[in-house]
Amino acid sequence: MELRQLLYFVTVVEEAGFTRAAERLHLAQPGLSSQIRRLERELGQSLLDRSGRSVTPTEVGRALLPYARAALAAAEGVRQVADEFGGLLRGRITVGVLSGVAAHEFDLAAVVAAFHEEHPRIEVALTEGSSDRMLAALQEGALDIALVGPAQEDPVPGVSFQVLVDEPLVAAVAPDHPLAGGTEAAAAEAGTGAAAGAGGLPLEALRGLPVISLPRGTGTRGVLERACARAGFRPRVVFEAADPRFLAQLAGRGLGVAVVPRPAESVTAGSGLLLLPFAAPVPRARIVLAWRTAGPTGPAAAALLARLRTGLATGPA
């Protein structure tokens, strides 16, 4: 029994005829028919019913079909792994990316572009999503690598982290907001990160106030909710948006306290907002490079992971 005979059998079944199968395989029809008959003689069973207008598998043929496909898939897998380890990397890698990650200093696009130039046969698929969903997809094997903002400090089971960004959360408020104190000095500090007292703004100060935050499922929102829960209350989130700049605009209109990661000057520039640091323990937002602890499923993904761990580590700590 030869792999090509199994390929011919599967193709005839899929095309429901010898003529179309021969065209697809770029073979002469008599040669294709001859190879199928050899396979049937070796197995001692008729695999194809040729009596109708179209060719269909017999009962034995239907039972054999999944095994034939599995054998062909296994052979292709052996070929691909051999190519990968031999330096001819190819395949498809799926990378999850946190929405808005491009706004940070590290250049993900540059790293991926350099990798693609070195390994043009590898397809890198980038997909955006929430941190919660991407971490679950990593655990399930639906993603190879992800850039996420986890709500928890420790990695989820089966997933490893490399921290790329670690920033404190700050409260962004309009100068006339009650938390700003309403003083001329505070107004003069607008947009520069004025502190709410020497020790910072107590997190409890948010209790009952309208809060503007990133959506549920994002790391920043998870960090905020966990910190508030430890302080004994639940944040009253009245507006949520994925774009931090829109959060700043809402806060600038006096609609609530925007909780955003710092540095937030680029987000709040020109808005007249005050940035109020929180008192210790300061809630912090992180962006991490995440992958399955057991490692990527193939050498191609492992090669990209190594490149990302080096290339993105040059970004903010």
160 within 8 A of 293, measured Cβ to Cβ: yes
Claim to verify: residue 39 and residue 129 sit in the same structural domain: no
166 three-class SS: strand
Claim to verify: residue 72 and residue 173 sit in the same structural domain: no
Bridge partners of 91, per DSSP, are 122
Per-residue model confidence (pLDDT) at position 52 = 86
- Each residue of 198-249: pLDDT tens digit? 578 999 999 999 999 988 877 788 899 999 999 999 999 999 987 778 888 8
Among 50, 85, 120, the domain-final residue is 85
Claim to verify: residue 72 and residue 134 sit in the same structural domain: no
Q: What is the CATH number of the domain that holds 101?
A: 3.40.190.10
Claim to verify: residue 268 and residue 299 sit in the same structural domain: no
Query: Which residues, at least 6 apart from 105, have a Cβ–Cβ distance to it below 8 Å?
Result: 315, 316
Among 65, 85, 105, the domain-final residue is 85
pLDDT (tens digit, 0 to 9) for every residue of the chain, 317 residues total? 889 999 999 999 999 999 999 999 999 999 999 999 999 999 999 999 999 889 999 999 999 999 999 999 888 878 777 766 666 567 788 999 887 665 555 678 888 999 988 888 888 998 888 888 899 888 888 899 999 888 777 778 889 999 988 889 999 999 889 888 743 333 334 333 334 455 789 999 999 999 999 888 777 888 999 999 999 999 999 999 877 788 888 998 889 999 988 755 555 555 678 889 999 999 998 889 999 988 776 788 888 999 999 888 754 43
Query: Which residues, at least 6 apart from 17, have a Cβ–Cβ distance to it below 8 Å?
Result: 54, 55
Claim to verify: residue 105 and residue 66 sit in the same structural domain: no
Claim to verify: residue 118 and residue 267 sit in the same structural domain: no
Helices (H), the chain: 3-15, 18-25, 29-43, 59-85, 108-118, 131-140, 184-188, 219-230, 244-252, 265-268, 299-311
Per-residue model confidence (pLDDT) at position 261 = 82
Claim to verify: residue 266 and residue 302 sit in the same structural domain: no
Q: What is the CATH number of the domain that holds 66?
A: 1.10.10.10
Claim to verify: residue 111 and residue 97 sit in the same structural domain: yes
Bridge partners of 48, per DSSP, are 57
Claim to verify: residue 123 and residue 172 sit in the same structural domain: no
The number of folded domains in the chain is: 3
Domain interval for residue 267: 166-285
Per-residue model confidence (pLDDT) at position 22 = 93
97 within 8 A of 146, measured Cβ to Cβ: yes
257 within 8 A of 206, measured Cβ to Cβ: yes
Per-residue model confidence (pLDDT) at position 260 = 86
